[in-house]
Chains A and B, each alone.
Chain A
C-alpha cells in the first residue's frame, strides 16, 4: 500500500468516525427532567391555594355536594381536593378507577376517581398524595344509586344520571401528583360497623375474619360469573357471626386462586357492589390477606344471662319520655317519638325531619346510664329501619364521661360505635339488626346515644326507626 492509499483510507476512517457520534439509538438514560414539569404545575396549584385563588376542599365536604341517586353535579368553582391513593389495579382487581382517602391514617372519608387509564397503579401508586382540580369535572356515581360517590370527567352519553371516566387527555390537566408517597395505615373496623357510609372509599382492616365454611376449596371468582364475584366473609362478634362480602373481579390475576381456609386479617378498600345493595370489601392484592390462623367461633349466647338494658318501646307514646333517658333536640324542632310499626306490629320509636321547615336537625336519644363495672363482657344490640334516609344519618355513640345533664351533652366525649344501621337502600319494611357491639373496652357508667343528623336540607332528610335496644352481659 502506498502513502496515497493510506491517507485515503485514513480520510475515510476519519469520516466514518465523525458519523459515529450522530446515531445514539440505544441511549436509555433515565430522563433528567422526569416529573419536573409536573412538580411545577403542582407548586402553582399549592400557591393558588395559599393565595385563595383555589379552595382546598376536604373529601367529606366534596361528597356532601352530591346525594346518591341524583343527577351528577358539575363542579363550576375553583376547588381542589387532596387525597391519598389507597387502591391499586396492579393485580387487575380494579379497572379504570382508583380510590383516595383524606388521610394516610384514620381517614374520615374517601372517594372514587374514575379515569380512562389502565394500570394506573404505576402512576397513581398506593399511598401517593394527589390533588385533583375539580372545576369542569363531575361528582356523581358510575352506577346511579350505588352509593359510591365518584369524581368523573363527564356525564355518560347514554345515561344522564351517571358519570364516566376522566379521559387520558384530561388526566394531566386535572390530576396532579405530589412527590410524596405516604404509608397507608389501614383503619381497623368491625364488620358490624363496616356499613357506615363514611367508610366507603377508605382502606380498612378487618381482624379475626374468615371465609364462610361453605366456600371451602372455592376460588375468589366463581367461573360462572362474567364480572365480579362476592364471597361471604365472617367475623365473630360475641355470641354471633357477622358477615359481609369480599368482591373480586374476574379480571384479577388472583381470581382463580383458592380462598384461604384459615382466619386472620383482611386489608381492603370499602365499596359497594354493582347494584349498590351491599357494602363490599375489595382487595388490592393477596398480600392484603393474612389468614393463616384459626377460624373464629362465636361465644355461647346462653352464658350471657345478665340483661343490663332492654327497651322495646311498647310502653311509650308521643315524644319518647322514659325514666332516666334523654330525648334532646340539639337543633331543629323534631324529637324522637313513639309509633306503631305496621310491619312488626309492635311499638317502636322514630325520628325524622322531612318537611319540618327546620334549617338544621340534630336530635339525641340517650339511654339511662349503664353500669359496666359489675360484668366482664357486654354486648349492645338494637334494630333500625329507615324511610328515605337520603341525606340524614343515624349514629350510635357511647360516652363514659357524660354527667347526664342536657347542658353537657355536647361537651361530653362521645365515641361512635360500629353498628349496622339501616340505610337508604335497605328495604324499608324490615328492621335491621345492629349486630352485637362489644362494650368490654368501656368502663364505669356509660350512656348509649342515638343521634339523628339531618344534612342541612330537610328535603333530603328522612326518617329512622329504632327498636329493641338491649345490652347483654356476663
Chain B
C-alpha cells in the first residue's frame, strides 16, 4: 500500500503536464520482469470509460470531461491500483506503471477448496454458494464464502440455483435442477480466476442473472496471466493431495495465446470416513487474434472425478460412532470401499468469437457443447437383506422400543465394533447364489444422467456515449438427457434379475414389460430408462446509465422452454403411461429488474434494486415420477419471484462497510420428494412421491459487512446476516405411488388432495443468523495471519410436509384417530431448531520472491476448537401420522428420528505455490 502511494506521488510529480486535451495515458509493466502487460483493463471508476492495454502495455483514454476521477488498473493476479486524478483540459501521462503480483489472491485457493468440498454433494442441505461468491471483493460476501459456507449458510436464504454461473457468457447451471455442477470445472482454480461477479440484482453485462447474482468466468487465453504456476496442497477435508500445474504463454507476435492447466486431486478419505476422492482436470484455452477486430478462442475442459459420498445419520448413530461416521463404506480386501460414489465426466468444448465492431461496440458469439455422464453408484438388493449398517432393525433403538435390553446392548456392541457395510457378506451371498444357480442377491449399479447439451448465444455490448450503454443477448440451448440405471459390478454373482420385488403381480414386478424377467450383466441398463428433452430460447436486454450523482439500469428477459419425457421402458406398474413420449411442457417466462445507485458523495452511497421474475419449474419438479412414468405434476406453474433490496455503502480510507435490507417472495413453487412412508392413510406403508405445489416463501433480512484498516498492517473485519426465511402459505399436497387401491391411493396410485399447513414454519436454509468478527495482520515482510470467530444461530430441520396435513390425524376411514390429543400433536409437530454454535478459523501465509520466482505458502485451520455442530437435517418421512410419530418420539431413542449432517471438526488446508 505504502509502496503504491510512493509510486503514485513520483509519477504525478514527474509526468503531470498540461495539454490541450482531456486524456490519460500510461504504460503497464510487470514489476519483476519489466515486460509489458497487454490486455489489462484500465477504467475510470463510475464512468463507462474502459480500455485495454496494447501489446506494448500502453493505454490511452481520451475525450474525458473535466472533473475528479479515479483511474483503476485491474489485472487478474496483480494488485489493483487506483489513481485519483484531477483533469482540466490536460493530458495526464502516467508513464511507466509497475504492476505487482498479488499474493492475497492465494486466498481464493482456499475458497475454491470449499467449493470442491461441498458443492458436489447431492443433498440439499449441502447446497453451497461459496463458489459463486469467490470473485466478490465485498466483505460480507467474502465472509459468507469463507467463514459461513461450511455451515451451509445460504445468502438471503435462497437455493444456489438462484445464482447463475457462466463460462465465457454461457450459463452452466443444469437444466435439470437449476444448480451449477461445480465438479465440471473443479481443480482448475488457476485458469478460472478471471471472474466477474454481480451481486444480487445488480446488472451484469452478459446475463440477466438470478436473484443471487451471476458469476462469469472468462477463460480467454489472452487474459490469462502469462507464466508458469505449480502448486501442491494438502488437506484433511475432502482430498488429501492436490497437485496443479498451469502454463500460459501470453500473446505471441502472430496473435496466438495459449493456456494449459492440469491437476490431480486424490485422497483415500477426507474428514468423513471412507469418502474417497479421485479427480483429474485438464484444461486448454487457445486464442487466435485474427486482427484488431476479431479473435477466436477455443476452450476445452475435462475434469473426470469420482468422490465417495457420506451419509446423513440419526443422533443415535452419531452418538455411537462420532461425527466422522459414514455408513456407505465397508472393508473389502483390506481397503475402505465406498458403495456410493459420484462420478462426473462431462467435458466442455467451447468456441468463442470476439468481435470489436467499433470502439464502442462488441459482439461476442459463443457456442458450447457439453456431453458425458454423471453416475451415482449404490447397491441394489432385490435378492438380499438391506445391507445398510444403520438399517433401523440393527440399531439399539429398535430393541429398546421392544423393551429388549439385552439385545439392545448386543446390537450396540456390534454396531460400535463393526457398523460398516459388510462387503464380504454381499460377495458371499452372490457367490452362494451363483453356486446354487440363482441370480444375484446384490448388485452395484449407478444412476446415470448422460447429458448432451448445446448452447449457442451472442452477446452485444454498445456504449452509446459516456453515460449510456446497452447490453443484449439471444440464446438457444438444447438438452438431450438419457437417464437410466446401469450395472457396474456383479460383485461375485452371475446376473441380476431386473424386477421390483415389492410389486404385487408378475406383470407389475416388471421394470420393462417388453423384456420381462431380464437378467442383467455389467454395463446393461435396467430398472428405468428414459430420455428428457429440453429446448430453451432466451433473450435479454439491458440499459445502463452512469452519471455523477446517480447510476441506474433496467433489464428485461424473455424465455421459452419446452420439456418432454420419453420413456424407453414399459413399466409394469404403469403400463399405459410409461413408454413413449409424454405431453410437452411449455412455459414462457419473463423477468424485469431495475436498480439505482445514488452517490451522496464519494464515500457514501445508497443502492436499491427491485426485480420481478417468473421461472419455469425445473425438469426435476415437473415430472412427478420420471423414472417410472410420464406423469406431469398437476397444475404445474411457473414460480413467481419478487425481490427488492436497499443498501447503504460507506467507503472511507479506514472503513469500508455495507448494510443491506432485502425482501424476496417466491410464489407457486413446486417441490417433489421421494421417501418411504409409514402411516399413509391409517397404517399403510408405501414408497411415495410427494408433490407439494403452490408453495409461497418469504425471505427477508439484513446483511452487514465492515472492514476497518485500523493501521497499515491491521485490518478488522465484521459481518452479520440476520434473516427470517419462512413458508408463507399452506400449499397443496398429493402423493403418488406405484401402490394402487390401497390406503389412500386410488387405482392410478394417486392419493386425495391434502393441504400442508406449512405457514410460518421455517425454511431449512442453513443458519438464519450468522455473525463473524475477525482480524488480519499483514506484515510488510510478506507474511500475514488472520483469525475469525463465527457464531451461528436459528438453524432448522427440514420439515416433512405430509405430517403437517390431515393425513397426520386421519385414520384410513377418514376419521380422527381415537386418542388424538391436540396439545401433544402440536408438540410433535414443532420444528426442531439446532443449537447455536461458534466456530473459530485461522488463516496465515507467507510469500517469497527469489530470482524472479514467487513462492507462497498458505494455510488455514477451520473449526479450531473442534466444535461439533449440526449443519443441516431433515425429518424422516417414515412416521407420517400421529400414532406412528407419537409412538416413536415417546422413546428415548427414536427409531426413525431426524437425520442430520454434522459440520466438520478441526480441519486444515495447506497450499504451496510456485510461479514464474
A-side residues, CB < 8 A to B, are 1, 4-5, 8-9, 11-13, 15-16, 19-20, 22-32, 34-35, 90, 92, 116-119, 121-123, 125-127, 154, 157, 167-169, 181, 253-257
Q: Roughly how many angstroms separate A123 CA and B383 CA in the complex, as a whole number?
A: 11
Output the least CB separation between B285 and chain A (Å): 15
Q: Given A118-B385, A169-B410, A22 and B266 touching (CB < 8 A)? A: yes
Q: In the complex, what residues of B have CB within 8 A of residue A257's CB?
A: 505-506
**Contacting pair A122 B383 (CB below 8 A):** yes
Q: In the complex, what residues of B have CB within 8 A of residue A22's CB?
A: 241, 266-268
**Contacting pair A25 B338 (CB below 8 A):** yes
Output the least CB separation between B844 and chain A (Å): 24
Q: Given A8-B245, A25-B308, A26-B341, A117 and B509 touching (CB < 8 A)? A: no
The residue on A at minimum CB distance from B506 is A257
Output the least CB separation between A410 and chain B (Å): 44
Q: In the complex, what residues of A have CB within 8 A of residue B435's CB?
A: 125, 181
The residue on B at minimum CB distance from A19 is B266
Question: Can you list 5 A-B pairs with a CB-CB distance of less than 8 A?
Answer: A11-B230, A26-B488, A122-B432, A123-B432, A168-B394
Known A-B contacts: A168-B394, A169-B413. Give 8 more (CB < 8 A).
A24-B335, A119-B381, A122-B428, A125-B433, A126-B436, A167-B407, A168-B414, A256-B506
Q: Given A25-B306, A25-B337, A28-B444, A253 and B509 touching (CB < 8 A)? A: yes
Output the least CB separation between B720 and chain A (Å): 41
The residue on A at minimum CB distance from B444 is A28
Q: In the complex, what residues of A have CB within 8 A of residue B427's CB?
A: 30-31, 34
Q: Roughly how many angstroms separate A406 CA and B76 CA in the complex, as a whole number?
A: 114
Q: In the complex, what residues of B have CB within 8 A of residue A256's CB?
A: 504-506
Q: Given A23-B268, A30-B492, A31-B333, A122 and B916 touching (CB < 8 A)? A: no
**Contacting pair B489 A28 (CB below 8 A):** yes
B-side residues, CB < 8 A to A, are 228, 230, 232, 241, 243-245, 247, 249, 262-264, 266-268, 276-278, 280, 306, 308, 332-333, 335, 337-338, 341, 381, 383-386, 393-394, 402-404, 406-407, 410-411, 413-414, 423-425, 427-433, 435-436, 438, 441, 444, 488-489, 491-492, 501, 504-506, 509, 914, 916
The residue on B at minimum CB distance from A29 is B333
The residue on B at minimum CB distance from A15 is B243
Q: Roughly how many angstroms separate A4 CA and B341 CA in the complex, as a whole number?
A: 39
Name which of B245, B413, B488, B506 has the most chain A CB atoms within 10 A of its CB: B245
Q: Given A25-B306, A256-B504, A256-B505, A12 and B431 touching (CB < 8 A)? A: no
The residue on A at minimum CB distance from B914 is A8
Q: In the complex, what residues of A have CB within 8 A of residue B509's CB?
A: 253
Q: In the complex, what residues of A have CB within 8 A of residue B386's CB?
A: 118
Output the least CB separation between A184 and chain B (Å): 11
Q: Given A125-B433, A157-B404, A23 and B428 touching (CB < 8 A)? A: no
Identify B341's interface contact among A5, A25, A29, CB under 8 A.
Answer: A25
A interface SS class? loop
**Contacting pair B228 A122 (CB below 8 A):** no
Q: In the complex, what residues of A have CB within 8 A of residue B429's CB?
A: 119, 122-123
**Contacting pair A27 B244 (CB below 8 A):** no
Q: Given A119-B384, A169-B414, A256-B504, A30 and B245 touching (CB < 8 A)? A: no
Output the least CB separation between B521 and chain A (Å): 14
**Contacting pair A90 B383 (CB below 8 A):** yes
Output the least CB separation between B379 and chain A (Å): 11
Q: In the complex, what residues of B have CB within 8 A of residue A26's CB?
A: 306, 341, 488
Q: In the complex, what residues of B have CB within 8 A of residue A5's CB?
A: 228, 247
Q: Roughly how many angstroms separate A157 CA and B393 CA in the complex, as a whole number?
A: 17
Q: In the complex, what residues of A have CB within 8 A of residue B430's CB?
A: 122
B interface SS class? mixed
**Contacting pair B232 A15 (CB below 8 A):** yes
Q: Given A28-B489, A30-B492, A167-B410, A19 and B333 touching (CB < 8 A)? A: no
Output the least CB separation between A12 and chain B (Å): 4
Q: In the complex, what residues of B have CB within 8 A of residue A119's CB?
A: 381, 383-385, 429, 441
Q: Roughly how many angstroms separate A151 CA and B659 CA in the complex, as a whole number?
A: 73
Output the least CB separation between B429 and chain A (Å): 4
Q: In the complex, what residues of B have CB within 8 A of residue A4's CB?
A: 228, 916
Identify B433's interface contact among A116, A117, A118, A122, CB under 8 A.
Answer: A122
**Contacting pair A27 B431 (CB below 8 A):** no
Q: Roughly how many angstroms separate A24 CA and B332 CA in the complex, as a whole number?
A: 11
9 A-B pairs with the lowest CB-CB distances in the bound complex, closest first: A12-B245, A122-B429, A16-B264, A122-B441, A19-B266, A23-B278, A28-B489, A25-B276, A118-B385
Output the least CB separation between A255 and chain B (Å): 8
**Contacting pair A34 B243 (CB below 8 A):** no
The residue on B at minimum CB distance from A21 is B266
**Contacting pair B230 A12 (CB below 8 A):** yes
The residue on B at minimum CB distance from A157 is B404
**Contacting pair A34 B407 (CB below 8 A):** no
Output the least CB separation between B590 and chain A (Å): 46
Q: Roughly how many angstroms separate A291 CA and B133 CA in the complex, as a whole number?
A: 71
Q: Roughly how many angstroms separate A31 CA and B334 CA in the complex, as a whole number?
A: 9
**Contacting pair A19 B432 (CB below 8 A):** no
**Contacting pair B428 A35 (CB below 8 A):** yes
Q: In the complex, what residues of B have CB within 8 A of residue A30's CB?
A: 427, 431, 491-492
Identify A31's interface contact among B332, B402, B403, CB under 8 A.
Answer: B332
Q: In the complex, what residues of A have CB within 8 A of residue B243's CB?
A: 12, 15-16, 19
Q: Roughly how many angstroms separate A125 CA and B439 CA in the complex, as a whole number?
A: 13
Q: In the complex, what residues of B have CB within 8 A of residue A8's CB?
A: 228, 230, 245, 914
Q: Roughly how many angstroms separate A169 CA and B417 CA in the complex, as a whole number?
A: 12
**Contacting pair A122 B384 (CB below 8 A):** yes
The residue on B at minimum CB distance from A128 is B432
Q: In the complex, what residues of B have CB within 8 A of residue A15's CB?
A: 232, 243, 264
Q: Given A12-B245, A119-B383, A19 and B436 touching (CB < 8 A)? A: no
Q: Roughly how many angstroms separate A35 CA and B427 CA in the complex, as a whole number?
A: 10
**Contacting pair B262 A16 (CB below 8 A):** yes
Q: In the complex, what residues of B have CB within 8 A of residue A9's CB?
A: 228, 245, 247
Q: Roughly how many angstroms separate A23 CA and B384 CA in the complex, as a whole number?
A: 29
Name which of A11, A23, A29 has the most chain B CB atoms within 10 A of its CB: A23
Identify A125's interface contact among B244, B267, B424, B432, CB under 8 A.
Answer: B432
**Contacting pair B262 A90 (CB below 8 A):** no
Q: Roughly how many angstroms separate A157 CA and B408 CA in the complex, as a whole number?
A: 13
Output the least CB separation between A195 and chain B (Å): 31
Q: Roughly how many angstroms separate A153 CA and B120 CA in the complex, as a whole number?
A: 46
Q: Roughly how many angstroms separate A116 CA and B407 CA in the complex, as a whole number?
A: 12
Q: Roughly how many angstroms separate A157 CA and B403 CA in the complex, as a whole number?
A: 8
**Contacting pair B335 A27 (CB below 8 A):** yes
**Contacting pair B335 A28 (CB below 8 A):** no
Q: Roughly how many angstroms separate A92 CA and B393 CA in the complex, as a whole number?
A: 18
Q: Roughly how many angstroms separate A50 CA and B423 CA in the complex, as a whole number?
A: 34
